[in-house]
Structure 1
């Protein structure tokens, strides 16, 4: 793998995080900041390979990690058709 390949992977990862609305994992993150997003934590766990990671579901992860179940996405606002 070349250095340019690593840069491309980093750029792809950054764009995916932006599209999904996840913050970049920072190891020096202050504990004073709000908790990280459940979905982001789940995807970090799923990024590993193996049967255990493949079999892990989001609800199972939330339960095993002792996290509060909540929606990671804001509710979709329904538009009223035909109204100005």
Structure 2
């Protein structure tokens, strides 16, 4: 590598290695930033779970009550039709 062409090739190889290492480093930084945001968003979502859970159960029992009332009304109508 004493010739000028050898030094140029060596500089190009070193530059390419540094470029790929820098690119990989930047990808890892972006990944860590994304992970930090995901952890923060998950923590915020976990705070909302109890409220959402109670609303979901409230809606479920409301639908059960409405369904039971509807079945009772249909049974009453069917009984009235058979009584005629």
Whether TM-score is above 0.5 comes out as: no
Q: Report which structure shows greater RCO (CA 8 Å, sep ≥6).
A: 1
Alignment TM-score, normalising by the size of structure 2: 0.28
Query: TM-score scaled to structure 1, two decimals?
Result: 0.28
Q: Whose helix proportion is higher, 1 or 2? A: 2
- The higher radius of gyration belongs to 2
